[in-house]
C-alpha cells in the first residue's frame, strides 16, 4: 500500500507509455507499469527508483488475452484500495487480420472472434476500467485513454470488429481509436465521480507502434517526421513531448472541461461526431464481448438517476 497517488499505465515499458511512467514518477506518484516485456518493465522500474521521487512496480499481462486483463485487474485490487489515474495507453497495429477469443459467451455457448487490434486497443481497456472502477471511484480518480487523430478515419461499426474478413492496418487501427473516443463519451455520460478523457498524443516515428505498421520503410518514417506538421493527424513529436497530454489529463489540478473531452497538445478539441445511439450500441457490444454487465458504473450515492 502507498500513501502517494497511484496510477496504472498500460503499455508503460516503451514509447509514450514509458515517458508517461517517468512523468508521473517525477511527480512523486506510485506507478504500476503494465507491459508484456518483463526485462523492459523491470528496467523502467529501476530507472524510476534511481532518478525520481516516485516508485514503480511491473505488472505483466497480454492485453490480447481478455482473461489476462481480468487477472491483471484482480492483482491490483488485491494490493491497492485506490487508483488515482488509469492511463489506457497500450496499443497495437496489425497488418494482418488476427483474431482473439472474446471473454463473454454468446447464447449458443461460443465466443466471438474479435480483431486483435480492437481487442487490445479498445476491449481490453473497457474491461480494465470496469474491473478497476471501485478503486477509481474511491479516489475520485481519472481515466485517460490514448486515442489518435486517426480516429477521424474510423468507422464505429461493430460488425467490422468480428471475424476474419474485416479491415486491417490503418483502417482497423482508426476504427479502434474511434471506439476509444466513443468509450470516453459514453462513460462520461454515466458518471461524474471519476473524470474521464481521451487524447491524441502525436505520431512518433521512433515509437514501436510506428515501426510495426510495416507500411513505411525506416527512410520513409524519417521523411514522415520531417513533414509531420503538415499531416491531418497532427504534428510529429518526441516520445516525451507526446506524453505531455496524457500527463496533463492525469495530473492537472484544473479539471474544468476535462470530463468527456478529446484533447491534443493539452487543449480540448473536437473529435469526430458520432450519434449517441451508435456509441451506446458499441458500449453494449463491448460489455458482451468482455463478459460484464453493461449497466455500469453503479449509480452514485445520492444520484437522482
pLDDT digits (tens, 9 = 90+) for 33-74: 999 999 999 999 999 999 999 999 999 999 999 999 999 999
CA atoms within 13 A on the CB side of 68: 14
- Whether 161 and 175 have beta carbons less than 8 Å apart is answered as yes
Confidence at residue 231, expressed as pLDDT on a 0 to 100 scale: 47
Report the distance separating Cα 45 and Cα 168, nearest Å: 34
Residue 3: count other Cβ atoms within 10 Å of its Cβ. Answer: 6
| Whole-Å CA distances, 64 to 53, 71, 98, 122 | 33, 13, 10, 10
Q: Quick one: the chain helix, strand, coil %, rounded to 5? A: 45, 15, 35
Confidence at residue 104, expressed as pLDDT on a 0 to 100 scale: 73
Which one is predicted more confidently, 228 or 96? 96
CB-based burial of residue 247 (10 Å sphere; 0-12 exposed, 13-18 middle, 19+ buried)? buried
Q: Are strands 261-264 and 267-269 parallel, antiparallel or unpaired?
A: antiparallel
Radius of gyration from C-alpha coordinates of the chain: 18
Confidence at residue 209, expressed as pLDDT on a 0 to 100 scale: 52
Which one is predicted more confidently, 115 or 234? 115
Which one is predicted more confidently, 303 or 297? 297
All residues at 6 or more sequence positions from 25 whose CB lies less than 8 Å from its CB, including other chains:
31, 48, 52, 53, 54, 55, 56
Confidence at residue 218, expressed as pLDDT on a 0 to 100 scale: 47
User: pLDDT tens digit string along 141-197?
Assistant: 999 999 999 999 999 999 999 999 999 999 999 999 999 999 999 999 999 999 999
User: pLDDT tens digit string along 201-248?
Assistant: 987 765 545 545 445 444 444 444 444 444 444 445 688 899 999 999
Confidence at residue 202, expressed as pLDDT on a 0 to 100 scale: 81
pTM for the structure as a whole: 0.90
Give the chain's domains with CATH numbers. Answer: 6-203+241-290 (3.40.50.720)
Chain centre to alpha carbon of residue 170: 17
Q: Where residue 305 falls among pLDDT bands split at 50, 70, 90? A: very low
Confidence at residue 238, expressed as pLDDT on a 0 to 100 scale: 84
Report the distance separating Cα 29 and Cα 3, nearest Å: 9
> Which residue's C-alpha cell is 495530473?
251
Confidence at residue 159, expressed as pLDDT on a 0 to 100 scale: 93
Which one is predicted more confidently, 220 or 32? 32
User: pLDDT tens digit string along 98-114?
Assistant: 999 988 776 666 678 99
The whole-number average pLDDT for the span 17-43 is 97
Amino acid at each position: 500500500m502507498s500513501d502517494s497517488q497511484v496510477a496504472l499505465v498500460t503499455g508503460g515499458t516503451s514509447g509514450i507509455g514509458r515517458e508517461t511512467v517517468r512523468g508521473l514518477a517525477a511527480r512523486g506518484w506510485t506507478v504500476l507499469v503494465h507491459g508484456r516485456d518483463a526485462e523492459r518493465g523491470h528496467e523502467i522500474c529501476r530507472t524510476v527508483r534511481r532518478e525520481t521521487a516516485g516508485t514503480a512496480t511491473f505488472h505483466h499481462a497480454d492485453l490480447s488475452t481478455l482473461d489476462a486483463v481480468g487477472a491483471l485487474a484482480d492483482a491490483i485490487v488485491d494490493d491497492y484500495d485506490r487508483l488515482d489515474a488509469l492511463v489506457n495507453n497500450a496499443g497495437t497495429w496489425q497488418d494482418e487480420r488476427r483474431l482473439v477469443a472474446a471473454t463473454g459467451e454468446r447464447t449458443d455457448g461460443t465466443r466471438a472472434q474479435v480483431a486483435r487490434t480492437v481487442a487490445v486497443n479498445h476491449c481490453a481497456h473497457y474491461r480494465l476500467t470496469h474491473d478497476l472502477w471501485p478503486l477509481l471511484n474511491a479516489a475520485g480518480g481519472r481515466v485517460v485513454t490514448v486515442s489518435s487523430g486517426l480516429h477521424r478515419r474510423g468507422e464505429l461499426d461493430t460488425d467490422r470488429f468480428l471475424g476474419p474478413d474485416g479491415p486491417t492496418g490503418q483502417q482497423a487501427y482508426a476504427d479502434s481509436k474511434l471506439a476509444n473516443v466513443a468509450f470516453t463519451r459514453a462513460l462520461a455520460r454515466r458518471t461524474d465521480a471519476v473524470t474521464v478523457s481521451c487524447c491524441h498524443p502525436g505520431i512518433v516515428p521512433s515509437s514501436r507502434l510506428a515501426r510495426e505498421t510495416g507500411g513505411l520503410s525506416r527512410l520513409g518514417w524519417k521523411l514522415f517526421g520531417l513533414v509531420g506538421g503538415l499531416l491531418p493527424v497532427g504534428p510529429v513529436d518526441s516520445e516525451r513531448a507526446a506524453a505531455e497530454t496524457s500527463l496533463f489529463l492525469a495530473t492537472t489540478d484544473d479539471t474544468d472541461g476535462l470530463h468527456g473531452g478529446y484533447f491534443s497538445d493539452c487543449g480540448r478539441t473536437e473529435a469526430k461526431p458520432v450519434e449517441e445511439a451508435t456509441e451506446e450500441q458499441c458500449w453494449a457490444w463491448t460489455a458482451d464481448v468482455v463478459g460484464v454487465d453493461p449497466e455500469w458504473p453503479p449509480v452514485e450515492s445520492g444520484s437522482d438517476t
